A and B are shown apart, each in its own frame.
Chain A
Amino acid sequence: MFFTLIKQALSIILQITILLFGVAWLLNSGAQEMGYTWQWHRIPDYILIYDEGEWWRGELIDGLLVTLELSAWSLLATLAIGLTTALLRLSNSIIGRIIARSYVELIRNTPLLVQIYLLYFVFGPVIGLDRFSTAVLALALFQGAYTSEIFRAGLNSISSGQFEAAKSLDLPLLSTYRYVILPQVLQKTLPPLTNEVISLIKNSSIVSVMAIFDLTTQGRNIVSETAMPFEIWFTIAVIYLLLTLSLSALSALLEHRLGAQWRIQ
């Protein structure tokens, strides 16, 4: 038993090592082909700096914090927009359904970059939003359209018996949604919602076009100063990867928490 575990662990480590060596060799020979010299030793300066007895945040970490803040606000707005749209789409109001449907189709079928330019240069100044809020709005409007379809599927999956039981208990509509319907929708839609959060974080890099100093903008600036694009972009990719991977782990944990006892086996 113990021996098989060790053997499995060793085999996994061996496979990963071979894979990493493979990737490193590929990168290295590619760089040599171009006459590129690696300067990995300079990367830590852009993450954490030790100076005059104190630690300072590097530019990449500054960018990461902006990305995190941007994503967090956008996520909240996305969930609100998505849920409202889904409820409108399923409502009895024809106008509500038309608005929800047009919004989803309009946003889904045009490029995010175009939407951002429109909001930033045309609508932003008109409604008087600052740059950061415009970015949050653009991301939330874009992601909200996809999220609303997820919520709609989730709401449709709840049996009418749940609504009827709540009604037979004279439970107010708001309480019905808050305590009966939405917790079940959330548990059922958590995997696709996680997808949306991950793509939200990655899409947030597009706001670098409107001069917001997020992770991607910082990276681009460093690259133009230092002329070491590969090291910087790889580092940035790894930071995004760590961010989204920890999010996936969190979501798996939450999914287990929300439904471990009552989910139909």
Chain B
Amino acid sequence: MQKTQNKAVEFQHVDKWFGDFQALNRINFSVNEGEIVIICGPSGSGKSTLIRCINGLEHYDLGNVKVFNTTYTAQPKGTVGMVFQHFNLFPHMTVLENLILAPMRTLKLSKYEATERAIHFLNRVKIADQKNKYPIQLSGGQQQRVAIARSLCMKPKILLFDEPTSALDPEMINEVLDVMTELASEGMTMICVTHEMGFARKVADRVVFMDQGEIIEVASPEVLFSAPKMERTKTFLNQILVH
């Protein structure tokens, strides 16, 4: 796939503290349009904090986070979508209502247009037959696919994934990863925090390893997984790849 060199996201010297604890330490990093970047690292290393700075869910103390060379707030509504570990579907709405809410209220689409769009994306994640069910009636994998469809309904240019498969039972992980792989092959810019190394190998352009709020190493998956340069990366990969 041809990749343009337009920067979708750029971190410039970003620092963030939670009290005395430095959550992000001098982050300099950018993601090109159409690129798939996987972020991994031990828990508490700042991976989630990093991607949450992109769409304003976290504030940072120093530096800049740019989205398409300006700020996130200057972008058209819905430019950056996000998929969460715990799905965060709206429990009191049906699947369809979950999907049409933001297109109607944020993008001001008519109910007809929003529904048409919602059905299209529900078909894409192969769950259109569940459209009138409530989230509680679906399995975890189905809920996460609904959450992905809900993000897609805003026609985002960048999709952030915050450990999208960590809350799922093992047998449901693949149905979610399949949807993500398909999105990747269509040129979506994706930044994923995940420990699914098989998925990273298959789709990632680059893998970022973080520890203690710092980016330790960035490399293509082949290089990072087989010949990591840094000692900390080796230790971490040994811990998770040993099984």
Tell me the A residues contacting B by CB distance below 8 Å. 159, 161-162, 164-172, 175, 179-180, 183-184, 187, 258-259, 261-265
Contacts and interface: CB of A to CB of B under 8 A. Distances in A.
A169 B150 contact: yes
B90 A165 contact: yes
B154 A262 contact: no
Given A169-B102, A169-B106, A262-B92, A164 B135 contact: no
B154 A261 contact: no
Interface in B62-113: 77-78, 80-82, 84, 86, 88-93, 101-102, 105-106
A167 B57 contact: yes
B189 interface: no
B105 A171 contact: yes
Please report whether the interface of chain A is mostly helix, strand, loop or mixed according to DSSP.
helix
Contacts of A180: 90, 101
Given A164-B57, A169-B150, A262 B134 contact: yes
Given A179-B105, A184-B91, A170 B134 contact: no
Given A168-B151, A259-B92, 17 more contacts: A162-B90, A164-B82, A165-B82, A167-B57, A168-B55, A168-B81, A169-B101, A169-B106, A170-B102, A170-B106, A171-B101, A171-B106, A172-B105, A175-B105, A179-B90, A180-B90, A262-B92
Contacts of A167: 55-57
A170 B105 CA distance: 9
A256 to B, nearest CB: 14
Contact of B89 (A165, A170, A171, A172): A165
Contacts of A164: 57, 82, 84, 88
Given A172-B105, A172-B106, A183-B92, A165 B134 contact: no
Contact of B136 (A165, A175, A184, A262): A262
28 contacts: A161-B88, A164-B82, A165-B82, A165-B88, A166-B102, A167-B55, A167-B56, A168-B55, A168-B81, A168-B84, A168-B151, A169-B101, A169-B106, A169-B154, A170-B154, A171-B101, A171-B102, A171-B105, A172-B106, A175-B106, A179-B90, A183-B92, A259-B92, A261-B134, A261-B137, A262-B92, A264-B91, A264-B136
A162 B91 CA distance: 9
A161 B84 CA distance: 8
Interface residues of B, number: 28
Which of B91, B135, B136 has its CB near the most chain A CB atoms (within 10 A)?
B91
A168 B92 contact: no
Contacts of B101: 169, 171, 175, 179-180
A264 B101 CA distance: 22
A168 B82 contact: yes
Given A169-B106, A169-B154, A184 B92 contact: yes
Nearest to B52: A164
B87 to A, nearest CB: 8
Nearest to B153: A169
Contacts of B56: 167
Contacts of A171: 101-102, 105-106
A264 B89 CA distance: 14
A161 B80 CA distance: 17
Interface string B134-152: 1111000000000000110
B106 A162 contact: no
Contacts of B90: 162, 165, 179-180
Contacts of A184: 91-92
B131 to A, nearest CB: 14
A262 to B, nearest CB: 4
Contacts of B55: 167-168
Contacts of A162: 88, 90
Contacts of A172: 105-106
Contacts of A175: 101, 105-106
Contacts of A166: 102
Contacts of B135: 262
A262 B80 CA distance: 29
